[in-house]
Structure 1
Amino acid sequence: MIGDLLAYVSDDLNRYICKNQGLSQDEQKVLLSYVVDQDGSIATNEQNVVLVTLVDLALDPLAYSQRVHSVSGGALTQEIQYNSLHVNLMVLFSAYFKGDRAKDALNYLTLIIQFFQSKASYTRANSPNLPNGVERLEFSMEPLDFNAQNHMWGILGAKYMPSVVYKVRMISFQDDETLDDELIRTVDVVT
């Protein structure tokens, strides 16, 4: 699901950039890609593009992670499933441009920020083709100080590129095929 989701967002951002730059919608200006491969080489042969890279995945500590379903029986009998997991993604959007096109890289970075300012939330209403299992996404810019940026680029094994990091909330992983012994079947309250 994460790959499908980031590919969907990348395609949406690509359409926005192509429209704003007067380019054909067939051009690929946004790529879902690593920044570098495991051998340390640049991960893509394309230049003058935006790279979309997952840099972190973390449990959302504020998310409610259980579902309550009413079942037949007394009014206080409930079935509770603990099989939902909510995570946040940290996604890096970097402008990978040749050195003589630094102005273009910064303009693309501006377009990325404008895009997520105008569409900070993905819902079924504004994005009906969201991948299955995703009902809502919230994008918020994640400010990184110089040390955090240095650390991130060092971990990635790459040289700095003009970039911005967005936190993507709320990816919910749900397995509807729960093992029977994982369920609390009933809760009876005796007064």
Structure 2
Amino acid sequence: MVSLVIGDLVVHLCGVLDATLAGDVPGERRVVVPTSGRSDTDPFQADAVTLLIVNVEEDRLLRPPNPHERRDESGVSTVAPDLRLDLHMLLVARFARYDQSWTALSSLLRYFQTHPVVDRITDPALPDGIDRLAFTLHTLSLAEQAQLWGFLRTAYLPSLAYRVSMLTFTDTTPTARPLVTERRLDLAHIPGRDS
């Protein structure tokens, strides 16, 4: 379920961002995802912006008090608690001319500046399971950039990093758990300790 929703979100964002670049960048597909099975190690397509999810992490700030269970409406059975994820998205521009790369990234930066939060009202085409997204520009230090580009095994290319927040996965399938019907308390005396 989680991978399906994240995959749908990536495809949706590619479409939205591709439409954003339509007036500024020539070409049929301006925002793409890395293709697997390429013979070279460079995942970035020429004359396009590549959208890449470089990390997924749990948002622990909004975690419920009991992170291991949540009662459903009937109060009898339990379902797994909501899982809130933050995605770290990297947008990499690779064009023949350096200024074209920054023109494309500037257009995307302008889009996220004017749409910092996207919900079903502002974007009714959001994939099922996603009600709201918040985009925050994530500035990487020089050391973090060096580590990231080393991990990607390529030279630095013009890029923007964003944190995509409020991606919530809710378990809707209750799992019956046995009710506690008996309490048991065992006390033991520890030699050498005074009570």
Task: Please tell me the TM-score bracket, short chain as reference.
Answer: 0.7 to 0.9
Question: Separation in 1 of the partners of 2:123 and 2:179?
Answer: 36
TM-score w.r.t. the length of structure 2 is 0.78
Residue in structure 1 matched with residue 49 of structure 2 by the alignment: 50
Task: Identify the structure with the greater helix proportion.
Answer: 1
Q: So what's the TM-score if we normalise by structure 1?
A: 0.79
1:17 paired with 2:21, answer yes
1:7 positional shift:
1.1
- Report the structure number with the largest CA radius of gyration: 2
- In structure 2, what is the equivalent of residue 41 of structure 1? 41
Matched residue of 1:90: which SS? strand
Q: One-letter code of the match for 2:90?
A: L
Structure 2: stretches of 5+ with no match in the other structure:
181-195
Correspondences of 1:84-103 after superposition (within 5 Å): 84-98=82-96, 101-103=97-99
Q: Out of 126, 133, 137, which is 2:129 matched to?
A: 133
8 A Cα contact 2:91 2:160, kept in partner: yes
- What are the ranges of 5 or more consecutive residues in structure 1 without an aligned counterpart? 72-76, 186-191
Partner of 1:30: 31
Task: Judge which range, 154-163 or 134-143, deviates more.
Answer: 154-163
User: Deviations 1:86-140 (Å, cap 9, x if unpaired)?
Assistant: 1100000010123xx0010111111111111011111000110111000000000
Q: RMSD in angstroms over aligned alpha carbons? A: 2.6
The change in CA–CA distance for 1:103 and 1:58 in structure 2 (over 3 A counts) is same
Equivalent in 3, 9, 18 of residue 5 of structure 1: 9
Runs of 4 or more off by more than 3 Å in structure 1?
36-40, 64-71, 77-83
**CA separation of 1:68/1:179 partners in 2, compared to 1, >3 Å: closer, same or farther?**
closer
Is 2:172 the counterpart of 1:147? no
- Give the secondary-structure state (helix, strand or coil) at the position aligned to 1:160: coil
Paired-residue identity, %:
24
Of 164, 171, 185, the match for 2:160:
164
Asked if the contact 1:40–1:157 (Cα under 8 Å) also holds between the matched residues in 2, the reply is no
What pairs with 1:48-87 in structure 2 (closer than 5 Å)? 48-65=47-64, 69-71=72-74, 81-87=79-85
Aligned residues: 172
Q: Which moved more, 1:60-69 or 1:47-56?
A: 60-69
Contact 1:83 1:178 in 2 (8 A): no
Question: What residue identity is the alignment partner of 2:174?
Answer: T
Deviation at 1:152, TM superposition (A): 0.8
